[in-house]
Every structure is written in C-alpha cells, then in structure tokens.
Chains A and B, each alone.
Chain A
Amino acid sequence: MGIPTPELTWDYTNINVDLNSTGNGVNDHKQMDKKWKDMLVALGFSVKLSCSSLDWAVRSYDTWTSISYLPLQPYFGDYDRPWIVLKNCASMGGLELCLLRQEWSGSNENNCRFFMSRDGFSGGSRNSDPAGNQWTFLDYGAHWYWTASATTFNTAWHGFIGRDPISGDIWSQRLFILEGGVVRHYYGFEKLKNPVSGITDPTYLFMLGLGTAAGPTHGNLNRGTSQPYRACINGSLQTVYLSCEGYVDYSLGEKLAVPHDITGEWPLLKAGVVCEGQGRRGYLGELYDLWFTSSGLAAGDMFPGDGSKQLITFPNIVVPWDGVSTPLLG
C-alpha cells in the first residue's frame, strides 16, 4: 500500500515540547492551562480577551502570563475566575474559544469550562463569563485532559500546523498531549477536504477536546456515540463521526490488531466525516492528512518501519511527522 504523501505543508515547530512537573500538583495543573493557551497561540490563535488574578480586569491582551494568576475557582457563587478568549486565524473562520478556570468545587484542577463560538464572545468580568452565540464544549465537572497521576506529572506536547501548499493559509491545527506514553488530550481544527456540493460555509470548522484516558481512538471517534468532533456546517453546529473502512461491526483497524499477514503493513484508513443532524445528514467530506490505523499500534509508533519517521501514531490515528525527531512521550 505504501505511505501516503501529505497533502498539506506541515509546520513541526511545536512538536516535542516537554512540560515538566513543577514539583507541585496544583501548579502542574495550572501550567497545563497556561501551556494550552500558549500552544493555541503558537498554532495560529490570538488572545482576544482575558481576565486573571493579575489585576482581575478584563483586558484585550494576554494576562495569563503566569500560573500564579490562574487560581481554580468554584462554579457556584460569584467567585472571581480567570478566563481567556482566543480567536482563530481568518483561514479557519475566526472561531473563538473561551476557557474558564472554574469547577464544581474548585478542587479538581484538571477541570475547566470550555466554550466555542462562531460569532465571538464579548463582555464578561472578574465574576461573570464572557458570552456569545456559543457552544458548550465542556462544563464544570469535566476533564479537559486526563492524568493518571493524582500528584505531579510530566507531559509531552505535539502541536501541528497544516497549511495549504499554494496559499500558505492554515487549514489544520492539531495538538496531542501525552503523559506516560498515553494521549491525554487531543484537539483538531480542520478545514474539510473534498466537501460535498452544497456546503456553502467557507470554513468547515471542526474541533475536538478529548479528556479521556485513552486519547483519540476508534471508540472515541468512529464507533462510540460521543462524537467529540463538532462541525460547523452551513452555519449550523453539529456533532459528527469520523468514518473509515470497516466490516462486520466496526473499523478494520479495530477489528484487526495486527499488520497485514502477507505484506506486513499496518492499515492507513481514510477518515471521513459523517453527520446525522437534521438538515446536515450524510457523508460530508474527509480530513486532510489524518488516517485511522490498527489498535495494535501504540502512541509514538512510526510509519513506515524503515526509520524514516514520516507519520506518527496517536494511538489509533496517524498524522504526518517531521521525518527526524524521536517523539517525546511524556
């Protein structure tokens, strides 16, 4: 079958970023939130609004500049809470994200509230949320990443920017966070490849925030009912599945946890986008340079097996790699 050549031009500047423990569990979680913001900025987002304990004022610049400004606050009550609004670049439709460091009890440091909006957020104060025509992505009580450690932990971050090779516009932004070799968080903002006719929305945004113990798997993306990807389809926000080749009951990669018995090759299965939402129902298109593979592989495994490190596994999906680096696994 061979290894597919990536269609986008990939920027690997933000792969293999180590985030070592501060030695303090609470601070380790705080630095995750700050690093998450920093990585989004590195991948093409900009800070639109922020609020933190720096001065508890709403600023049109980044005040999440130190973890000491990021206390985790309870959801109930008018507590001062840090929040930040990030705006994506124009080629990704200017989608806005809002992250609030606010949780049910204020004690689960890997929880956050997390919203997105096509039209943008405005307002907000030290004790009220910015608002917009928004989609709740994670609310209080939900992990935005997972950690096996109750105390301190190290993580490895891999951020990717995929650009249209002609215009240079950003068409894909992905982040994988690993701890102990396991993907603990994944997001992807994607421009749809080969959209079906009738899609008039020019942005086709997709997004994912997986705070699961296993990362992006067949179960999360293809088989399960969670449909963590969100798609903006002609102005309507929808949940979508990622489809791929399969038989009997699910993905070929999940059914066969082995390489091909004759060729020795592991599968690379095109990822499609399927929506069941009323008015948006059907196969909508594909993702650039992202494939499902076999559940017999682990995060960090490389394609092909000749040491050329062209693609990397995270753990059931495969994306382009820089051809040089040995991946950090947290």
Chain B
Amino acid sequence: MSIPARAVEYTSAVNQKFKTTGVALSNAQRLMRALKTSLCNLGASAWTVIKSSDGSTWGASDLWDSDGKLIWGTGNHSWIVLRQVGMATNFELCIDLNSATTTSATIVVSFASGFTGGTPGIAARPTASDEKVLISAAAWHSIPANTNHQLHIMVRVDGKVTRFFFTASNALRGYADFSVAKGTITQWANPSVAFWTSTLPSTTNLWAAANVFGTHAGVSLSLYVGNHVYGGVPFNSADVAYRAGGRLNSVSSDYPFFEPTLICATSGYRGRWGKLEDVYWAPQAGPPLSTMYPVATKIWVQVGGLIVPWTGDPLTTVM
C-alpha cells in the first residue's frame, strides 16, 4: 500500500540530546523544562503557559524559567498549565510535579473548561471541571536512571496535533498524543483526545485497553484505538510472529497503513467516534523503532506500535 501523504505540515523539535548529569533530579528538571520550552517555541502552533508554580510562588506566568525552578514534592512543588488553542479554545495540559520521585508526575488535561478551579497554590495545582487525569503521581517516562536520552516533539502547524516521545538506549521511553480526531460523528462538538504513556504506544495499551481520553457533553470518554482484526488478533499482532502483519507483505513488500479509530464501549456512548489524525498502526513484530517511511524521505517514523509524522532527519535513539 502506498505511503500516505501529509495534508498539513509540522513544526518540530526533535533529536534533542541530553547527556546524563549523573543526578536524577537535574536530569528530570532539564528534560521536563525542555519539553515545556519546546512546546512553547513552535511558532504559530506553540503552546502557551497559562499559569505555573515553582514551589515558592505561583501565578499567571511562566515561572519555569530555569531548571532549578522545577521542584518535585508532595508538599510545596512546581506545576504548570499549558494551553493549545489549535485543539480547542481552552484545551489545557497541567503537569504537576507532586511526587517525591522525579520520574513521577501527575498529568491532567482539560478539554474545554481550562484549569480555573480548585485552590491553586505552591502546594496544589488548579483543577478543571472537565479534567481527566492521564497519569496520577506515577511514571511520566521510563528512561533508565543515569542514561543519556533524547526528546522528540512534532506539532502540526495548525496546532491540531501534538506528539512527543522520549528515547534512550535505542528504545522508546514514553509517548504522548494530544490531537483533534478526524472523521468524527457530527455530534462530537469537541473531538480533542489525549494519551500519555510512560512506555510506548502499543496494541496492549491502545487496542486492548481504553487509554485514550476525550469528552462529550460533559462526560469523560474512555476510548479504545481500533485496528483491522482477523483471527481474533489485530493485524499487526506482535505475539504471533507468522501473522500477516508481523512482517513485510510477501507480495508487495510493504505494509498497509491502517488508520487507528476511536471506539467507546461504555454504555450510553458505544460506537466509533472518529479516527486519530496523522497516525497509522505499525507492524509490531517487524521493523524496529525508528524505521522510516519512505526510507528516503523519512516523512513518517515508527514509534512502538504506531507510525507518526517525522521530519526527514534520522532519528537519534542512542548517544
């Protein structure tokens, strides 16, 4: 099957390399701030800081202006709220460093209302009436301790898609997707969805579990990511090596690009709601991380079980 073109281009901040400092805290501070800074420096599609805390003070400004301002803790600690108007007027992401462990954080999104509630301060993040907690004081990545690592961010120029992932030692170490679904049912007024895993996107955490989240009419949607299935397995099943999707098509020598769909199985909301934008299911038992499509122009790259937009550059996964 021919490799799909991209209708809308991306701005990027990929292959950001970080040599380990040898200290967990400074590694975490540098990486998390680089993520924030990159998201906010992508031109017209940039995210904006709405409010933040550095553990000493908080307010409607970006207080994460140096690595040392990122304080992890269960008492006073840092947090930040970022907004992406390309997705929805008040689509916001709150990163809350409310853990004593620097590899842990709380990741929360608001699809429409924004983080205007709660009693925010230097010890508590703001809340949103429609908030969805993606990660609760748990791992936000899986980069091994004291290991060189990389950060890769791709944001569509219209702001409708943001994806970033972490790599280290030739492996994917975390992946996030904030995007506006396409091909949606007409009733879905705000088809923004969010997903963050500390490991990698896969059949296990997307197809077999409802880990993509959205909202409809004030109700949180937990969404599975559909794929082509046969014989009781997804096409790209990783656990059965002889399965058709586990290796190159032996007739055409390529792969199909199946679009991930969004399916809700919760009573009252059952059915397909739409598709994820600019992403395809990848073979999981075939090519490794960083396989490019096409090989020459590298406009798509395989990350875990997905194929996502890429820059045309090689992907750095080890240093």
Contacts and interface: CB of A to CB of B under 8 A. Distances in A.
Nearest to A223: B232
Nearest to B269: A261
Given A245-B228, A246-B234, A274-B244, A197 B254 contact: yes
A247 B232 contact: no
Interface in B224-280: 224-235, 242-245, 247-254, 256, 261, 263, 265, 267-272
Contacts of A250: 229, 232
A280 B250 contact: yes
Interface string A225-264: 1000000011000000111111111111001101111110
A55 to B, nearest CB: 47
Contacts of A247: 207-208, 224-227, 229, 263, 265
Contacts of B244: 274-276, 281-283
A282 B208 CA distance: 22
B229 A244 contact: yes
A272 interface: yes
A222 interface: yes
B209 to A, nearest CB: 8
A243 B251 contact: no
A245 to B, nearest CB: 5
A59 to B, nearest CB: 40
Given A252-B263, A260-B270, A262-B269, A281 B250 contact: yes
Contacts of A222: 229-231
A303 to B, nearest CB: 15
Contacts of B208: 247-249
A196 B232 contact: no
B310 to A, nearest CB: 23
> Which range holds the interface residue count of chain A?
35 or more
Secondary structure at the B interface, as helix, strand, loop or mixed, is loop
Given A222-B229, A241-B231, A282 B251 contact: yes
Interface string B208-231: 100000001000000011111111
Contact of B270 (A197, A225, A261): A261
Interface in A179-236: 196-199, 222-225, 233-234
Contacts of A246: 226-229, 234
Contact of B250 (A256, A265, A274, A282): A282
B312 to A, nearest CB: 24
B185 interface: yes
Interface in A19-61: none
A242 B228 CA distance: 10
B272 A245 contact: yes
B187 interface: yes
A262 B252 contact: no
Contacts of A1: 185, 272
Contact of B228 (A255, A275, A283, A284): A283
A5 interface: no
A52 B263 CA distance: 55
A265 B186 CA distance: 12
> Which range holds the interface residue count of chain B?
35 or more
Contacts of A262: 185, 187-188, 216, 269, 271
A233 B251 contact: yes
Interface in B132-170: none
Contact of A248 (B186, B224, B231, B248): B224
A149 interface: no
B265 A256 contact: yes
Given A233-B251, A260-B272, A283-B256, A252 B226 contact: yes
Contacts of B5: none
B231 A225 contact: yes
Given A260-B271, A261-B267, A261-B268, A282 B231 contact: no
Interface of B: 1, 185-188, 207-208, 216, 224-235, 242-245, 247-254, 256, 261, 263, 265, 267-272
Given A263-B185, A274-B228, A283-B228, 6 more contacts: A243-B229, A262-B188, A272-B230, A276-B244, A279-B250, A283-B249
Interface of A: 1, 196-199, 222-225, 233-234, 241-252, 255-256, 258-263, 265, 267, 272, 274-276, 278-284
3 shortest interchain CB distances as A-B pairs: A282-B249, A260-B271, A246-B229
5 contacts: A245-B227, A248-B207, A262-B271, A276-B242, A281-B251
